[in-house]
Structure 1
């Protein structure tokens, strides 16, 4: 099985930490994790894909081992596209395939539509376009986000977990994960402090996004995808990725294959062999 190599990619706002699997002579595949996850999310899947691709999984800004933004800054969804482009540039990849889970799948699919010349193939797990809102949601969401951002300095200190097992248990409860799956994310997602461990991700990532797209905007964007696309969804469907919505989105992509596999939202961690078989098939 391929052994991961740790990387640091220098970008304009700091460092994007990353892990690489597979020979550098293989076609490039950039992997993008979900919200509050990190590159460890691909620890089970990436070695299985490394027979075909050189897989580099990055920690998005504020996640895992990557740099946090300066005090007072916002984590805007669109800024993650800068991370994708910067990672491709630093790695010297003018064109690559993209693998994305959840938030990473939303980013990968939209990036492929924005910059079709840079994306060879799309491999998506539980993500095709971002979460959306209705026009009625827009004003209250904007106020909630601004209030949370203004009050951030008043937040309580981070919870300290006295053991790693305690942090793993908390992640299991939060995301309905098995201990083995949670461990892969937690080991890269904590930092040691006096008395134990705290999450390494920037707490500002939990501030409500001030704006989202409407569903019509997402559908219009997805129509711009030119790369062959394989979307893997969990069965039963994740509550915020209902079947009708995801099918409507899939129908906007010209060349898309849809596979449903038994599992939950993190099925690539819980059942990596089945997901790898689907993506390699």
Structure 2
């Protein structure tokens, strides 16, 4: 895939311009555009652009004093579409990227031809009566701290795998775009403010309303066995909230299943994009 800079250099991207089906790929939290490299080799016929969200990969960090609010990614995505000159496109989102995609589709339905969501059918929700506690955690946890330097690259890869189901191969691939060598070792490039606790989450009724507002066809791909991101009952409820064309596929491989088994999901992704391109 070829490198590309968008939004006056603030957003970095990788492209595979192999066709006329316009697909914007949005990665997960603390990942980067390399998340879609394994899949891209199986997606012939697409004009595929995979971005690094602000603060991730090779994209610019937000200015000092500007926090990373989940909602702001919606405006980032629309700005990227404008910069590409795409009045309408398909969105391929994983995890955070899938959650952002649902908001974009609900907020600007005329811009989205279809959605393909991998482990990302809507944002994480929280009950309304946990709002004060969330704010207290956010205030306490939103403090600058020294960035960790790993003496060896292997240690940095291991640190990224900790607490996740990333394979060594997947973490290495993310590290090729996300790691930088510094004095004393290796650091991950992402903005440390991305790890600060969130002060605000949508309630589940709000998420259901957003999903119900999506007019584009939705193809949902989730891990089997489940990763715990969404339990089966919640997934079923969210799928039922979609009012228009929807399809669902279960695939092994964990939360980053698109990196582990790209060959298993690529054919159905291509079929989905081609069927709903207009």
Scaled to the shorter chain, the TM-score interval is: over 0.9
**Deviation above 4 Å: which 4+ runs of structure 1?**
none
SS in structure 1 opposite 2:7? strand
Question: How far apart are the structure 2 equivalents of 1:207 and 1:117?
Answer: 33
State how far apart, in whole Å, the 2-side matches of 1:169 and 1:277 are.
32
Q: Which residue of 1 aligns with 2:68?
A: 75
Query: What 5-or-longer segments of structure 1 have no aligned partner?
Result: none
What does 1:128-139 correspond to in 2, within 5 Å? 128-139=121-132
Partner of 2:4: 7
Q: Which residue, out of 247, 271, 280, partners 2:270?
A: 280
User: Which residue matches 2:28?
Assistant: 34
Q: TM-score, normalised by structure 1?
A: 0.92
Q: Distance in 2 between matches of 1:10 and 1:226?
A: 27
Displacement of 1:278: 2.8
Distance 2:149 2:176 in 1: 15
Q: Which moved more, 1:221-230 or 1:164-173?
A: 164-173
Name structure 2 gaps, 5 residues minimum. Answer: 272-278
CA–CA distance in structure 1, aligned partners of residues 126 and 193 of structure 2: 21
CA distance in 2, matches of 1:172, 1:146: 27
- TM-score, structure 2 normalization: 0.93
Question: Which of 248, 252, 263 lines up with 1:258 in the alignment?
Answer: 248
Kindly tell me the number of residue pairs found equivalent between the two proteins. 270
Aligned position for 1:177: 166
- How far apart are the structure 2 equivalents of 1:203 and 1:34? 15
Which residue does 2:139 correspond to in 1?
A: 146
Aligned to 2:157: 168
1:53-95 deviation per Cα after TM superposition (whole angstroms, max 9, x unaligned): 1110100011111111112221001110111001101111010
Structure 1 CA distance, aligned partners of 2:10 and 2:122? 26
Residue aligning to 2:37: 43
Q: 2:212 aligns with which of 219, 223, 233?
A: 223
- Aligned partners of 1:100 and 1:65: how far apart in 2? 18
Q: State the secondary structure of the residue aligned to 2:71.
A: helix
